[in-house]
Structure 1
Amino acid sequence: MKIIIADDEHLIRLSIRHNLEKLNIRGLQTYEATDGLELLRELEQLKPDIAFVDIKMPLLSGLDAIEKGKLLSPHTEFVILTGFSEFDYARKAIALRVNEYLLKPVSLDQFKSVMNNISELFTRKTAESSRLFALQIAEAVADKASVEDTHLPPEGLNCKLLAVCFDSFKDTNLTDAEAWLDNARKCIEPYLSRHFRITILKPRDNERVLVFGIDKDEHNSNANLLSCLSDIRHMTKTWRKEKGSVTLVTGSTLPFRLFFTSYTVLLKATCLRALLGISVDYSQSFLQFISVDKPQFMQVCALLIELPRYQQTQRYIDFTTAIEQIIALIEGERLHENIRVIRPAAIYMRCAIGLAVEPDISYSLLKNELLLYCKRMLSSRTDRSHIIRSVIAYADARYAEEISVAKVAERFEISPNYLSALFHKETGKRFVEYVAQLRMKEAQRLLSETDLSVHEITRKVGLYSTSHFSKLFTKYYKVSPQEYKRNTNPQPYGELD
């Protein structure tokens, strides 16, 4: 807390300083002014929290200095210390909204009472400032807008982002996140002030972003921010030993007008922890360098990070598709030859989705475990409606491939006859009819919206005979694909059921 003592008597200033020091005020910094003009210079430069001001001072009276000083440092709380009890002085002090009007000599108990009252006032103002800050940031993120479009003063405010990622398995994840945040708030609370604000965003269930707002003109803001981040990292180091995985990614300190850009880039970069290693501290600049230098990492990690969400929401087809894409990317980019990539990936999947593998597992074994995991996941539910929903989702994703009842039945570990009967009973259609409809709808779209030839479209929808495709399309739309394509303003000739 910064306090200015403005009085032309040295002994008075010394007495006030000693009384303040006896109160053990956290972060106390005291400054002195011997006349009204010096007080104005200090107010403009220091922007103090509190100013103790004598009424009678050389060059400019205390009351006149307060009147002008409120324009230079509008957030400063002023306390008058005077030997004059005349009503006119008190009336002007009230008009200037001076916090306290004290008659000399002032006892230690009076100082203590004044400081307690001002401290409570600061607490209320800090809470209101934090509430408004949180609201404005939430609106900016929801609207995907620049902070310049809100009422925040970007020219006077810097931001610092800290992403926190929790990769525990299943239900413990959210519990761990809230417990860690409670500890983080205890680290942050001593630093909160009108110069130092904080809000917490939740972009995903297992990720939080701490948004710090600090005033550029406040001399101690950067030092307080560094101390606060150091406290959080120290707490997190202990947390990892006792509780579990927490990954921190620290952004650069930037003007608030760059907040949304930095926030978007940070969220994208956090996924790299899946291949670089979880429960580690990273800088955003380092992860951005990796994303540019090794773009294949980003592709794999973007898929890996989605696995817990697919698992928790029982989107097993999406989960399996993502695993197959991950395997294809790893092998296509020859990442499986690098143990420094496979080991972090195995650890991530063990923590995030509960895959029962050891960190030093070979890639071939990891691949087999993943495929078996997908197979067990797909066949784990016996509910008939759930099975058919999963089969439909599988067909929707794979209709352009070679797909058959036998292949799908093998994937879900049920007999082809049972699958055919169950599918017809639940949907009223045969499986092959459903796949054909998917293919024809996509063919209709491609004929309308692209310049692809009929032969190319045949391949795009998973068929290999152009004549068979033409017969099928004509069956559904009562017109050949060639005639449909020639129509200058193609309109659907019919809708598929």
Structure 2
Amino acid sequence: MKIIIADDEHLIRLNIRYNLEKLNIHGLRIHEATDGFELLRELEQQLPDVAFVDIKMPLLGGLEAIEKGKLISPHTEFVILTGFSEFDYARKAIALRINEYLLKPVSLDQLKSVIHSIGELLTHKAAESHRLFALRIAEMIAAMAPVEDDRLRQDDMSCKLIAVCFDGMKATNHLTAEAWLEHARKCAEPYLGRHFHMTVVNSRDHEWVLVFGYDKAGETGSEYLVSCITDIRRMTVAWRKEQSSATQITLVTGSTFPFRTFFFAYGELQQLTCLRALSGTSVDYSQSFLKAITQDKPHYMPICALLVELARYERNQSPIEFGSTVEQLIALIETSRLHDNIRLIRAAGQYLRCAIGLSVEPDVDYSGLKSELLDYSKRMLGSRTDRSHIIRSIVAYTKAHYAEEISVAKVANLFDISPNYLSALFHKETGTRFVEYVTELRMKEAQRLLVATDLSVHEVTRKVGLYSTSHFSKLFAKYYGVSPQEYKRNTISNR
């Protein structure tokens, strides 16, 4: 607790200081002022929790100083000290919302009672501040934009973010994200108060963000932040040693920034956390370091984003999305000519070995990584033995790939079933043949493109996965009764 004693009498200040020190107040820091103007300077520099103020002081009286001081340090609780008990003073003190009014000399018992009362008030206000802070952060993230709220003075607040990523976490592991987060909260508890806040945001699957906020309460806020983060890092080192390689915990610490720019800092941090997939997991990074990597190696970001997505789809058991992401990753590596980048390929293999249990050796080359990923994807699809689930997966895959070269044989091979079985099962479950279903998807998309775009019929043909304009025109006329050219002309004339 930070306290200012403002009184022009040295013995009064000494007596109050002596009694305060007897009370064993946690984190007690005492500052002194001898007149009203000095009190205002101390309020601006220290932003104390409590100020004991004498009514009668030179240069600027106590009540006038309090009136100005409430604008400088709105969170400070003021206690009047006076040798007078006139009603006018008390009436003005009440107008300034000052609850404590002590006659000098102040006894130890009086001081103890006042400090206890103010302590309870500060605890209540701190809890309300934490609630508002957490609520504001949640509202901004939900709205995907800054949110104004007069109840929280954002102009006086600075923030810092730490992203926490868990890779390789399985349900059977002793370590869970919730357990680690609980330890992080316990690390922060000793520092929390009206000037220092922390809340936790579940930003994505197996990724959290610790959000710290503190106002300009002298040096205390920044000191608490440094100490709190140091404690969290020490705790994390201990967890890593205890858990060995069971779960990889990666921390990414952002820079300190004004609260009003929270939304933008949060978005940037979210983008950069995926870089752990190639830079290495279970490491502490600074956001600035990862940002420098994106400038030096621009190909890292899209590859890392796909690697992290693979881990997410594997955890959620989403075989279609997993297979599609594998295809995107392979295409990106090959079109960017990165398959000969041994360091990148091995780093990707190491991440996938940790994140999804991919069976690749530490010295894997691109051919081995590609082969194992495709086999893994096929095994995920093949593990679905329920007939209706297989068809749901095939339908989902077809909707995502109908504009590409797609056939019964290709899809059957992907799902590790025979083409004849696929055709029969698809017709039985959906009531239509696979080829007809693909054609219907293509014609619906062609109809949309003819209405919503300026694409030519030839361009639309290519967009829906066909290569013969005449064949496309026949199919379209069969479905809609007119040729694509007529359909487009009629649509334009009816606008």
Mapped pair 1:334 → 2:302: no
Q: Which residue of 1 aligns with 2:373?
A: 370
Counterpart selection for 2:449 from 441, 446, 453:
446
CA 1:467/1:36 → structure 2, altered by over 3 Å: closer, same or farther?
closer
Instruction: Give the aligned partner of residue 176 of structure 2.
Output: 176
More deviation, 7-16/198-207: 7-16
Bigger shift: residues 295-304 or 81-90: 81-90
CA distance in 2, matches of 1:173, 1:165: 16
Q: Distance in 2 between matches of 1:221 and 1:172?
A: 39
424, 428, 436: which one pairs with 1:433?
436
Count of aligned positions: 492
Is contact 2:126-2:194 (8 Å) kept? Answer: yes
Provide the residue aligned with 2:291 in structure 1. Answer: 288
Q: Secondary structure at the match of 2:176?
A: helix
Q: How large is the Cα RMSD of the aligned pairs?
A: 2.8
Give, in whole Å, the separation in 1 of the partners of 2:172 and 2:489: 59
Q: Tell me, what secondary structure is at the counterpart of 1:248?
A: strand
- Equivalent pair of 1:34/1:57 in contact (CA under 8 Å): yes
Q: Secondary structure at the match of 1:487?
A: helix
Residue 483 of structure 1 pairs with residue 486 of structure 2: yes
After superposition, the C-alpha distances for 1:313-360 in whole angstroms (9 at most, x for unaligned) are 432111101011112212332333334323332232233223234444
1:155-194 equivalences in 2 (<5 Å): 155-171=155-171, 176-194=176-194
The code of the aligned residue for 1:212 comes to F
Q: Please identify, of 326-335 and 429-438, the stretch whose mean Cα deviation from structure 2 is larger.
A: 326-335
Cα offset, 1:491, TM superposition: 8.0
Counterpart of 1:272?
Answer: 275
Q: Report if the CA contact (8 A) 1:188-1:228 is conserved.
A: yes
Q: Equivalent residue for 1:356?
A: 359
Contact 2:326 2:373 in 1 (8 A): yes
Q: 1:79–1:98: 8 Å Cα contact kept in structure 2?
A: yes
Determine if contact 1:484/1:490 at 8 Å carries over to the other structure: no
**What are the residue-to-residue correspondences of 1:19-418 with 2, within 5 Å?**
19-82=19-82, 93-94=93-94, 96-108=96-108, 110-148=110-148, 152-171=152-171, 176-216=176-216, 218-243=218-243, 244-418=247-421
* Identity fraction in percent: 71
Distance 1:358 1:369 in 2: 11
Q: Is the 8 A contact 2:132 2:152 kept in 1?
A: no
CA contact (8 A) 1:195 1:218 kept: no
**1:448 offset after TM fit, Å?**
2.8
Structure 1: where are the runs of 5+ without partners? 493-497
Taking structure 1 as the reference length, what is the TM-score of the superposition?
A: 0.89
What letter matches 2:165 in structure 1? C
Shift of 1:61: 4.6
Give secondary structure in 2 for the equivalent of 1:295: coil
SS at match of 1:336: coil
Quote how far apart the aligned CAs of 1:432 are: 0.8
Aligned residue type for 2:229: L
TM-score by length of 2: 0.90
Between 1:370-379 and 1:466-475, the stretch displaced more is 466-475
Deviation at 1:89, TM superposition (A): 5.8
For residue 9 of structure 2, what is the amino acid of its counterpart? Answer: E
**Larger displacement relative to structure 2 (114-123 or 473-482):** 114-123
1:159–1:254 contact (8 Å) kept in structure 2: yes
Displacement of 1:96 in angstroms is 4.1
Change (3 A) 1:293 1:444: farther
With over 3 angstroms needed to count, the CA separation of the structure-2 counterparts of 1:411 and 1:44, relative to structure 1, is: closer
Within 1, Cα distance between the matches of 2:108 and 2:150? 44
Check the 8 A contact 1:169/1:354 in 2, yes or no.
no
- Secondary structure of 2:466's counterpart equals coil
Write the letter of the residue equivalent to 2:41.
R
1:426–1:14 distance in 2 versus 1, CA, 3 Å = same
Q: Report SS of the residue matched to 2:41.
A: helix
| Alpha-carbon distance in structure 2 between the residues aligned to 1:437 and 1:477 | 11
Contact 1:157 1:256 (8 Å CA) reproduced: yes
